[in-house]
Amino acid sequence: MSTLTLSLLPETYVELPERELDERIAQAKRELGSRLVILGHHYQRDEVIKFADYRGDSLKLSQLAASRPEAEYIVFCGVHFMAESADILSADHQIVILPDLNAGCSMADMANLEQVEVCWEELTSVCGEGIVPVTYVNSTAAIKAFVGRHGGAVCTSSNAGKVMEWALAHAERALFLPDEHLGRNTGYRLGIPLERMALWNPREEAGGLSEEAILQARIFLWKGHCSVHQRFLPEHVERVRRNYPGIHVIAHPECSWEVCQRADEVGSTELIIKRIVESPPGSQWAVGTEIHLVNRLAKEYPDRLVVTLDDCVCMCSTMYRISPQHLCWTLENLVGGQVVNRVSVDPETKRWARVALEQMLGIGKAVES
């Protein structure tokens, strides 16, 4: 579990003009020097991410922070589970801060420990211990620790296929949580038929599954999703192809199976960026992911057409809670010797969550060797 002490943004910061905010943030950064590292997730708003020392996805950023032992303070401009991961991987002397503790993740919140323990008990009572749990990195520290205790592994959207393959090589079945879409898209790519993937709904008795359905399944999917990526629909793919003949559609694997089947390519945030950055001038891209990243790529590569898959703004509203005002307030408190909005994972949870993360890293090394 995480220890949280929520401090509220003082009113004096709310109305600060943009120029003054920028100057004060830059000044605080200079005063803190190497004692500070600021991490900015790809989905973060431009007026915040411009102050980040590193940009990336959640796990990459946590690993980068851990590689900076001189940084006493790790300020994570992302959401709560990301800050937890940074605390799990960082050294004991490092302090992880989330500028606004209200910046959560709806997907991570869709699987709590009590629900997962009930699911595990039900599934193992029917089909025995031959199940390996796999959790997406977009999950709470408590869920990562549960997976570590039960011999499973964490995965990212980049390596979900490798981790799922490892799980199914070690057991007859896998439990994948908390994103049903990433689990379904990954299983299908591994050749698992849709009818061999059963959806566990924690809000229904016995997950809404019969004993027969449990015994037939090879992968159990948790009924959870990303509120941003689930908004993309098959008709959006069809419309963008009509509007931009010949455009290349690339979707994040958190999108539904139906959307991913209609896309030209499916890939993680890092892959989406890589493909567009390395594409030739004049190429056209319709991207099924969060709007801040899509707009940033369009600005940075004006010689390429980069548009969102859906004109409706698909924004990560919880990530948007991290504002320049919160960042300024956080840094100025650190300059004054005070820590606000620290995220700290308890030692036992941290230990088992690290086991699950290290299992994932071990799988990657085994595949490469």
Q: What is the pLDDT of residues 3-53, one digit of tens each?
A: 555 678 888 998 899 999 999 999 999 999 999 999 998 888 899 999 999
Count the neighbouring beta carbons within 10 Å of the beta carbon of residue 348: 11
278, amino acid identity: E
pLDDT digits (tens, 9 = 90+) for 118-128: 999 999 999 99
Interaxial angle between packed helices 141-149 and 347-368, expressed in degrees from 0 to 180 and rounded to the nearest 10 = 70
Kindly tell me if the per-residue pLDDT of 368 is higher than 50. Answer: no
Kindly tell me if the per-residue pLDDT of 93 is higher than 60. Answer: yes
Kindly tell me if the per-residue pLDDT of 1 is higher than 90. Answer: no
Q: Quick one: CATH architecture of 2-104+318-345?
A: 3-Layer(aba) Sandwich (3.40)
DSSP states of 61-89: HHHHHHT-TT-SEEEEES-HHHHHHHHHH
Q: Quick check: 230 and 179 in contact, CB under 8 A? A: no
Correct CATH for 108-226 of 3.30.1340.30, 3.20.20.60, 3.40.50.300, 3.40.50.10800:
3.40.50.10800
Structure tokens that stand for 223 in this block = 């009924």
Indicate the helix (H) or strand (E) that contains 198.
strand 197-200
Q: Give the closest residue to 116 by CA, choosing from 262, 267, 219, 222.
A: 222
| Calculated CA dihedral for residues 242, 313, 138, 330, nearest 10 degrees | 150
Q: Tokens 């943009």, residue?
A: 18
Q: Tokens 């100025």, residue?
A: 332
Strand partners, 284: 305
Residue 369's pLDDT is: 31
Question: Do the domains spanning 2-104+318-345 and 108-226 agree at the CATH topology level?
Answer: yes
Question: Distances in Å between the alpha carbon of 257 and those of 39, 112, 254, 348?
Answer: 31, 24, 9, 36
Q: Quick check: 187 and 165 in contact, CB under 8 A? A: no
Would you place residue 99 in the very low, low, confident or very high pLDDT band (cuts 50, 70, 90)? Answer: very high
pLDDT digits (tens, 9 = 90+) for 315-342: 677 777 899 999 999 999 999 999 999 9
Q: What are phi and psi of 284, to 5 degrees?
A: -125, 135
As a whole number, mean pLDDT of residues 141-152 equals: 97
Question: Distances in Å between the alpha carbon of 266 and those of 204, 271, 286, 299, 362?
Answer: 31, 9, 12, 22, 25
Would you place residue 160 in the very low, low, confident or very high pLDDT band (cuts 50, 70, 90)? Answer: very high
CA 350 – CA 363 distance, rounded (Å): 20
Indicate the helix (H) or strand (E) that contains 219.
strand 219-222
* Domain residue ranges of the chain, discontinuous segments joined by +: 2-104+318-345, 108-226, 229-308
Task: Specify whether domain 229-308 bears CATH 3.40.630.30.
Answer: no
